[in-house]
Structure 1
Amino acid sequence: MKFYEELKKQRWDDHRYYHHNRINQFLHLISATCFLTSYVLLFIDPVSAVMIGWLLAMILRQIGHFFFEPKTYDQVNEASHEFKESIKVGYNLRRKVILLSVWVIAPVILYYDSTMLGMLQAREGINGYLYNLSLTWLFIGMGALVFRTVHLFFIMGFQSGCVWFTKILTDPFHDIKIYHKAPYYIMKGEMYDDMSDWYDEKLVAQKS
């Protein structure tokens, strides 16, 4: 596949396998808005950008996955939860638990060691703590992104890694595009997406 074709496939696989629940989609919509705010603030107020990115955008996103997304057999896609976890290109739930554990532990380490194990300049006061914490969380986020991208270079190929890297950075834009109607469906009482858009495309592709 060409780059854009693989990007489209990764996006669709992510949507159809991991975003059935409308509340999860709605939380992703809010999360995407927070991430876009972080993108802008990163050049103006990096501390606020990281705090919004981790404490709002990331938490809302993961609440949707961990608490609202069904873990039972997926009748729409005819796939078990275990199968979907095994083929997940990015961070599946097990990998996310590891990443989030590192994120939670980081403030504790920084509280007892203001240099973060010698990696940062010591700063005093609450403002100094928050500044170093934002640097730490920024490093964790970027590190997780780079680590998985390089890992994908070896297990799936250079293009797949670059595609996933691009997908993650552009997910906020794409989430707003495909999930902006989630509040409307929730108010209608439609709590699960039947993925009809995906299967319409699939049938068209098969006929062509």
Structure 2
Amino acid sequence: MIKDFLEQLRIQRWDDHRYYHHSRINQSLHFLSAASFLVAYVLIFFDPVVAALIGWLVSMTSRQAGHFFFEPKGYDQINHATHEHKEEIKVGYNLQRKVVLMAIWALSPVVLYFDPTLFGLFTPWASPADFMRQVAKIWLAIGIGGLLFRTVHLFFIRDVETGLVWMTKILTDPFHDLKLYHKAPLFLLKGELIDPGLDILEHGLEEKHA
């Protein structure tokens, strides 16, 4: 059972890499995201508020910017798949779902500003520092809620194992991305915009099916 779980984890990681990480800019931003997420992981035990601020303002924004602005969205010649097909089969948050999640994140400070108690959940903030700490608490709840929501959702639309594998993947992505993309900034500085290793993947797949 553990062997099957680890194999499913490997497949989800591999599909995520080959479908959604062609751009060296995106890979570099994922490296930045992974490093800052690891800092947030440590800080969450000492100051969850600061951890949430780092997690959202640095880690999540850099990660999603890579996907939204730099990742190619045309026909994927390497994997022989359209962008629409990849979005449809995406296990976790595809771009459409990410838009919803990021919109909730971005609008939450506005809601708190106009309702300082946030529907009675908070003591009204009295200073900018109080406001930011309360915003950070909301963002922490959104992060945890978004993770749990999609995990449970996958329980129903796929199966329990798929949901648990995906949750494990998300929580361990910073460690995996740091290892996988640590050379991406160097390749980017050399002027390499697309990962040529994916071309090797294409040729390997063609030879395998020849």
Unaligned runs of 5+ in 2: none
Residue identity in the other structure for 1:66: F
Query: The residue matched to 1:191 in structure 2 has which SS?
Result: coil
Percentage identity across paired residues of the two chains: 55
Deviation for aligned residue 1:203: 8.2
- Distance in structure 2 (CA, Å) of the matches to 1:44 and 1:200: 48
- Alignment equivalent of 1:188, drawn from 190, 200, 204: 190
Deviation for aligned residue 1:45: 1.8
Residue identity in the other structure for 2:193: M
Residue identity in the other structure for 2:133: Y
- Computed over aligned residues only, the root mean square deviation of the Cα atoms, in angstroms, reads 1.9
The match for 1:91 is: 93
Residue identity in the other structure for 1:78: H
After superposition, the Cα gap between the structure-2 partners of 1:170 and 1:15, relative to the gap in structure 1 and judged at 3 Å, is: same
Query: The residue matched to 1:2 in structure 2 has which SS?
Result: helix
Unaligned runs of 5+ in 1: none
The match for 2:76 is: 74
Contact 1:12 / 1:198 at 8 angstroms: preserved in 2? Answer: no
The match for 2:57 is: 55
- Distance in structure 2 (CA, Å) of the matches to 1:3 and 1:201: 26
Deviation for aligned residue 1:131: 1.6
Contact 1:34 / 1:56 at 8 angstroms: preserved in 2? Answer: yes
Deviation for aligned residue 1:184: 2.1
- Distance in structure 2 (CA, Å) of the matches to 1:179 and 1:127: 35
Contact 2:78 / 2:199 at 8 angstroms: preserved in 1? Answer: no
Deviation for aligned residue 1:174: 0.3
Moved segments of 4+, more than 4 Å? 196-204
Deviation for aligned residue 1:26: 0.2
- Distance in structure 2 (CA, Å) of the matches to 1:77 and 1:190: 20
Residue 132 (1) aligns with residue 134 (2): yes
TM-score with structure 1 setting the length:
0.93
